[in-house]
Amino acid sequence: MNTADLGLPVDVPSTALFTDQYELTMLQAALKAGTGGRRSVFEVFTRRLPEGRRYGVVAGTGRVLDAVENFRFDAGVLGFLRERNIVDEATLQWLAGYRFSGDIWGYPEGEVCFPGSPILRVEGSFAECVLLETVILSILNHDSAIAAAASRMSSAAGDRPLIEMGARRTHELAAVAASRAAYVGGFATTSDLAAGFRYGIPTVGTSAHAFTLLHDNERDAFRAQVDSLGRGTTLLVDTYDVTEAVRMAVEIAGPDLGAVRIDSGDLLLVAHRVRQQLDELGATETKIVVTSDLDEYAIASLRAAPVDAYGVGTQLVTGSGHPTCSMVYKLVARAHSADLKAPLEPVAKKSLGAKSSVGGRKWAARRLDEHGVAEAEVVGTGPVPAELADAQLLVELVKGGQVVAREPLDAVRDRHAAARAGLPLSATQLSRGEAVIPTEYL
């Protein structure tokens, strides 16, 4: 197959090869040994939060559900595996009929999480569960990292809206996923049309410096934009002289000019000067949008400035210094046989370093204090204490191979806002610190 013929789709027809080769070689060996059918439980968790972060954000769950549904080995994929001699013919025959038929439970997307939180639990035969490791981790690690950065930025921004504009700073398909994750974390809009098309995220955008430079002078550029897009448009005012550009913008568009955008310089100082100038010119309702390599710290530093919206690119799509959450997918329980009635037995990796894990099929609940504020993430393998029965976090996502928990992205976004609001106030501090609540094991 000529991969150029595939183009650059927003989605892919199959996720089966979004995996590591050892998933398939383990499968082959397990099938041959007769252990591939053993009932197994895998869990996704992170052992620690990125340095300095107070909480994590679960994002990408909806994309995981799509990936599981599309995990199919068609003729082209099987031909590739056969040509490379990656697995034997018996395994290829097994893969030809692959359909995940197990169950998946997890934290609802948008929920916050902490070290040890079992944010996803995948149950079924070893053979069908082990194949999903890489694609699940690649989605959750990326999207959760972006959503966590977005959450910190939206917290720093307060009521001021954030625009995601990082498509040009990452892979073209990762940009779509990043837009989705940013929306979950609290961003209001995106500049990426593919994200708007695929996920219904509101899109925005007007012009760049190139549009101004195209014209013989700034006046002609502003006039052309206002004539085409109306007085409510946003004019970019820092191509030449900001003060002159603002004066000219209001002269051309009138006091009903929608907004001006500042993309360089001392944003704190320039924003104050531009606000004063706009008010003096009668454009009291004209908004000020700032861009230029912003992160959560820069946004927080502009809290006292007369800024109405922020546009964020590079720092957002790279997780603001933490592009992954270091989530892992570990086998925590398995049966001695393929008999569905065979009891599950806890298994865990033992290590002298920091890579040990806790065995057993887990539940999780968030304990609240007398004011309804979270005080601990409680994770256990035995019976759920009565006082935590109504505070359990995992919900059923896939039952018998069928997705049962799809939901609108706006619901996910609202859930995150509520989950973050339920944490102690120190969760939103940008200063370095440990997880805002401890993880307790029962």
User: How much is the average pLDDT of 340-345?
Assistant: 91
The pLDDT tens digits of the residues spanning 217-273 come to 999 999 999 999 999 999 999 999 999 999 999 999 999 999 999 999 999 999 999
CATH number, domain 170-320 = 3.20.20.70
CATH number for the 10-146+322-441 domain, one of 1.20.140.10, 1.10.10.10, 3.30.1330.10, 3.20.140.10?
Answer: 3.20.140.10
- Report the 10 Å Cβ neighbour count for 1: 9
- Report the 10 Å Cβ neighbour count for 230: 12
User: How much is the average pLDDT of 294-322?
Assistant: 97
At 52 the pLDDT is: 87
CA separation for the pair 382, 96 (Å, rounded): 38
Cβ partners under 8 Å of residue 252, min gap 6: 219, 222, 223, 226
Q: H or E stretch including 409? A: helix 409-421
Which is nearest to 424 in space by CA: 365, 371, 364?
371
At 10 the pLDDT is: 53
At 340 the pLDDT is: 82
At 36 the pLDDT is: 97
User: How much is the average pLDDT of 395-408?
Assistant: 97
Split at pLDDT 50, 70, 90, the class of 2 is: very low
At 356 the pLDDT is: 72
The pLDDT tens digits of the residues spanning 132-158 come to 999 999 999 999 999 999 999 999 999
- Report the 10 Å Cβ neighbour count for 126: 23
The pLDDT tens digits of the residues spanning 53-102 come to 999 999 999 999 999 999 999 999 999 999 999 999 999 999 999 999 99
User: How much is the average pLDDT of 179-195?
Assistant: 98
CA separation for the pair 314, 340 (Å, rounded): 49
At 5 the pLDDT is: 42
Split at pLDDT 50, 70, 90, the class of 432 is: confident
At 355 the pLDDT is: 72
Does residue 132 contact residue 109 with C-beta atoms inside 8 Å?
A: no
At 372 the pLDDT is: 96
Alpha helices in 185-284 (DSSP H): 193-199, 209-214, 218-229, 242-253, 267-280
At 8 the pLDDT is: 45
Domain ranges of the chain: 10-146+322-441, 170-320
* Count of alpha carbons within 13 angstroms of residue 377, beta-carbon side: 27
The pLDDT tens digits of the residues spanning 368-379 come to 999 999 999 999
At 3 the pLDDT is: 37
Split at pLDDT 50, 70, 90, the class of 328 is: very high
